[in-house]
Structure 1
Amino acid sequence: MQTEFRNKPNDLKLSGPEGLGGWLVLVQIGLYFTVLNLINQLFRYTIPAFAPDTWELLTDKDSSVYHWLWAPSLIFEALYNILLLLFSIFILVCFYRKKTILPVLMICFYSTGLIVVILDYILLNQIPALKEVQDTGSTKVIIRSVISCAIWIPYFLKSNRVSRTFVR
């Protein structure tokens, strides 16, 4: 009788949804969009920024648009986007392999994204040529990141589906 009682709470804990369905479908879509968006950004903005003419225009002290933060900002953006692209692909692999580390990876993904967006905003706001262009767009990106963190971090911490799916 006592063993039956001990087994029942474990059975209840194991019941519930599992698999890559439910809200995890939105996470998958978001990860694919992140990968595609990062590839697009690399080819449309990052690589062209390092072209000799553009790099010289932005980093030459005699240039009319020179600012000392252009070089560190461009390097920071390029490194972050490349690392985020690789990290996103790694997360997708862990996602489909249902690795137990996935919830931690997703929490790092969302929280690091928010921190970098805020740092990027502060850094780029120091460059006068970008200050007026960046105001509304960057604020929206920060708000979107805060909302994503507020939704997805608790989801990965509390969800039965997450705890039942990522077990390998």
Structure 2
Amino acid sequence: MNDLENGDVGRQSGELKPLPLGVKGLAGWLVLVQIGLYLTMITLLVQIFRVNLPAFEPDTWGVLTSKDSELYHALWRPIIVFEGAYNIAFLLFCIFILVMFYTRKSILPKLMIIFYGASLAVGIIDTILVYQIPLAREMETGSSFTDIIRSAITCAIWIPYFLKSERVQNTFIK
């Protein structure tokens, strides 16, 4: 009779052997999550330095927000501020998530769900606001809608993963 038949689960030849806990650790599909977070940070930094900060320079700001300008629209000011503030806040949020990720905090799955959901929601809100400005609508190449679809697909994949994954449960929850 072997050890399993006589009820000694986890024992072999009289030695106590720990039972496996299943998949655990920052490997597997979580590697893609890590890569995505780092790529998001790089993208946000590029966006901040190439788009957001230049929009606050006096010449650009004046052309878009001065009522005397041909390019003026009342929504330019709140959109520029909203996008700049969001990009900076989201960059800081990515850093916070990575700290929680590598310290394996139990709040990480909730943070990732917020991360993906907020990214989709802000993308939709930003697109709706930008489309209210005729000049911005004319310059749109369809990339905003592509970004929204990409974000929705990302949510459809990763939110269930963080809710149901055995690796996520074993790494961050247990």
Report if TM-score (shorter chain) is over 0.5. Answer: yes
Q: Give 1:135 deviation, angstroms.
A: 4.8
Equivalent position SS for 2:142:
helix
Rounded Cα–Cα distance in structure 2 between residues aligned with 1:161 and 1:87? 23
Q: Give 1:132 deviation, angstroms.
A: 2.4
Q: Give 1:112 deviation, angstroms.
A: 0.7
TM-score, normalising length from structure 2? 0.87
Aligned equivalent of 1:54, options 47, 56, 60:
60
Aligned match of 1:40: 46
Aligned match of 2:15: none
Aligned match of 1:17: 23
Query: Is the counterpart of residue 154 in structure 1 residue 155 in structure 2?
Result: no
Equivalent position SS for 1:64:
coil
Equivalent position SS for 1:21:
coil
Query: Is the counterpart of residue 145 in structure 1 residue 151 in structure 2?
Result: yes
For the aligned residue pairs, the C-alpha RMSD in angstroms reads 1.6
Aligned equivalent of 2:69, options 60, 63, 70:
63
Q: Which runs of 5+ in 2 are unaligned?
A: 1-6, 8-17
Query: Is the counterpart of residue 101 in structure 1 residue 107 in structure 2?
Result: yes
Aligned match of 1:73: 79
Equivalent position SS for 1:152:
helix
Q: Which runs of 5+ in 1 are unaligned?
A: 5-10
Rounded Cα–Cα distance in structure 2 between residues aligned with 1:109 and 1:96? 16
TM-score, normalising length from structure 1? 0.90
Which amino acid in 2 is paired with 1:96?
A: Y
After TM superposition, the structure 1 = structure 2 runs for residues 109-128 of structure 1, keeping only pairs within 5 Å, are: 109-128=115-134
Cα deviation code 1:110-155 (max 9, x no counterpart): 0011100000010000011110222511010000010000000000
Which amino acid in 2 is paired with 1:91?
A: I
Equivalenced residue count is 158
Q: Which has the larger radius of gyration?
A: 2
Which amino acid in 2 is paired with 1:24?
A: L
Please list every run of at least 4 consecutive aligned residues from structure 1 whose deviation after the TM superposition is greater than 6 angstroms: none
Equivalent position SS for 1:65:
coil
Which amino acid in 1 is paired with 2:49?
A: F
